[in-house]
Amino acid sequence: MSDQTDKEQFAADLEQRFQDLMQWAVTSWPDRERPISLADFDDVRNAVHAISQRVRHPKGEALAPSEGGAQFVSIAPAPWP
């Protein structure tokens, strides 16, 4: 198995396990008067996604828009103050 395949498998496992953890937390939440939802995990989901992207693309190469990369990257320098 290649190193890239191992990294891809790790990233996929990380995201799947986090998804399973979120689902478990929502269904097992003890306070039924103030339930939680998957939306409560948005910030953490973004952090886990960023980690998995760093594993998949360790040298910081640009991601395609379909992989969560920017659709437009400005290369024009900022004006001098």
Average pLDDT over every residue of 34-44: 93
| Counted domains in the chain | 1
pLDDT for residue 62 is more than 80: no
Categorize the per-residue pLDDT at 61 as very low, low, confident or very high, splitting at 50, 70 and 90. Answer: low
- Give the 3-state DSSP-derived string for the chain, with helices as H, strands as E and coil as C: CCHHHHHHHHHHHHHHHHHHHHHHHHHHCCCCCCCCCHHHHHHHHHHHHHHHHHHHCCCCCCCCHHHCCCCCCCCCCCCCC
Any domain includes 42 = yes
Print the domain residue range for 60: 3-67
Any domain includes 76 = no
pLDDT in tens, 15-29: 999 999 999 999 999
